Amino acid sequence: MENYSPIFHYSPSPTISSAAAAYNSPMLLINNELQSHNKANTSNNGVLGLMSSVKLAAPTSDIVINSNHSQGRSNFVGTETHHEVKSDKKNTEKKIRKPKFAFQTRSQVDILDDGYRWRKYGQKAVKNNKFPRSYYRCTYQGCNVKKQVQRLSKDEEIVVTTYEGMHSHATEKSTDNFEHILSQMQIYTTSY
């Protein structure tokens, strides 16, 4: 697999979408023209039907972002979960909760470029799913953000990307397209 392509041409934008900014969470660039690896023949313009249906989901949710386009196809549903993590290995059983943020995306490529650099550190077969789940960590020094990428076996075009943690740095790339999408989103918060 290749590295992330450094070529990104999103037009500059002065503002950051409120949703992603609120979470201080990685911004998903819903734009896969940069998916240079050829898992699927990306001979089209790189849209790959991504924009047609984007969803966000997670097993447990605190925050749900949902937006239904008038055509009923631009579905954008987001959930943020909190994951308990031990801060120390010893008796400091201080479990801190890390925010989790899962995107469910209809795409033929597994890896959605969100502007950050990720290093893959694991891959596991998932039960009841013929596709493996991949584990990535942000390579920025001191940034401990992780993400998981998983394709549903129910619907092979659905890719679930789960972010965990908050980036301590900015992306190197513009987040324009995502902002455009997020501008159409509504945010619903639910408490559990």
Binding DNA by CB under 7 A: which of 40, 126, 143, 166? 126
Q: Does 94 contact DNA by CB under 7 A?
A: no
Of the pair 162, 175, the CB lying nearest DNA is at: 162
CA atoms of 2 and 64, how far apart (whole Å): 33
Binding DNA by CB under 7 A: which of 14, 43, 89, 91? 89
Chain centroid, CA 102 distance in Å: 6
For residues 147 and 162, the answer to whether their CB atoms sit within 8 Å is: yes
Mask for 106-125, x = binds DNA (CB under 7 A):
-----------xxxxxxxxx
Q: What are the two backbone dihedrals, phi and then psi, of residue 11, each rounded to the nearest 5 degrees?
A: -70, 145
Binding DNA by CB under 7 A: which of 146, 151, 167, 173? 146
Q: Does 104 contact DNA by CB under 7 A?
A: no
Q: Does 135 contact DNA by CB under 7 A?
A: yes
Q: Binders of DNA: how many residues, by CB under 7 A?
A: 22
Half-sphere exposure of 139 (CA within 13 A, CB side): 10
Write out the two tokens for 24. Answer: 């201080």
